Amino acid sequence: MTVWKEITINPETSIRETLRVIDAGSLQIALVTDDGGRLVGTVTDGDVRRGILRNVAVDSAVREIMNSSPTAAAAQDSADEILATMKLKQLRQIPVVDTDGKLVGLEVLEDLIQSKDRPNWVVLMAGGFGTRLRPLTDDCPKPLLKIGNKPLLQTILENFIQYGFRRFFISVNYKADMVRAHFADGSNWGVQIEYLHESERLGTAGALSLLGENPQHPMFVMNGDVLTKVNFQHLLDFHNEHGSEATMCVREYEFQVPYGVVTVGRHDILRIEEKPVQRFFVNAGIYVLNPSALQLIARNQLLDMTTLLQRVVDAGMPTAVFPIREYWLDIGQPDDFRRANGDFPEEFQQ
């Protein structure tokens, strides 16, 4: 196959165009070659997101963010040898080069192992009261409110299923019977669904103490009121690549101060900045946790995910932030609900 030729770029290609190449293809990578066709670098979704965190402009040349020392396989390497290298270095793709270093192919993990079902658990938080969305939530829990033609939580579930995740836990409290009646055991979607019932409010992290067994792989935790097109495989890869104990998805948020901001010395003016724009990364309500992070959660005690993440930091465990560049909307207010319904046909029914 020559599909890899469609994801080949040169070092001067812009990051913006590289993103288009990565998103248009199905291989989650772009291959960078020189004028002679020799492999000089690779660019993954994770490389792009790390560039975002370093404030590299998307119109910059991709050489600013590419991996200039990529792992490559020789054309004569066997599939077993390539698969062993992938497992050793936790790679999902390996470019193949000839004896002159020229790019001649690309091997992809899924093609070698012939399996797309993933063992990672997914916990969806659906127990909130949705107070800010009343009266919409007087008779219906927020996760079951219809966005487009289906309940919000169903869209979230189906997005995870698309990436091969098959075991789900749904944390329920407010109108729990309605959530259970809609999703049942998950058989209608070909997956396994179990429920974590909060008899009292435990918070986004405290509900994890209700898991009956310990996961063996990193697990996802996601708020049930977030509409997004995040690539969950990219998120999991990013978490693993960084050796993170806990990874938090973040969204860039801009706020323009409506006044001139004055920087003051002891009594004099140092600088005046007219209506500056402040940029922050804010919590996006999606996380990946290693099993060992769950040891920091006490059973049946109120604990929010932000507090758990701080405990991970305080314990000296490695963490990571994953900047979301895809569509994302937290449905907390009536205006958000209306916007989500307006966005849904274009974003989720293409």
DSSP string, 301-338: ----HHHHHHHHHHTT--EEEEE--S-EEE--SHHHHH
- Let me know: does 101 contact 70? Beta carbons within 8 Å: no
Scan for tokens 């793709």, then name that residue.
93
HEC states along 206-245?
HHHHHCCCCCCCCEEEEECCEEECCCHHHHHHHHHHCCCC
**Element spanning 287, H or E:** strand 277-289
Q: How far apart are CA 138 and CA 320, in angstroms?
A: 38
Q: Is 5 a catalytic residue?
A: no
Alpha carbon dihedral 60, 64, 70, 74, in 10-degree steps, equals 50
∠ Cα 251 132 153 (to 5°): 60
Q: How far apart are CA 170 and CA 197, in angstroms?
A: 8
The number of helices, as runs of H, and strands, as runs of E, in the chain is 10, 19
* Count of beta carbons in the 10 Å neighbourhood of residue 22: 22
Active-site annotation holder among 87, 116, 229, 275: 275
Residue 81: what are its φ and ψ, rounded to 5°? -65, -40
Active-site amino acid positions: 275
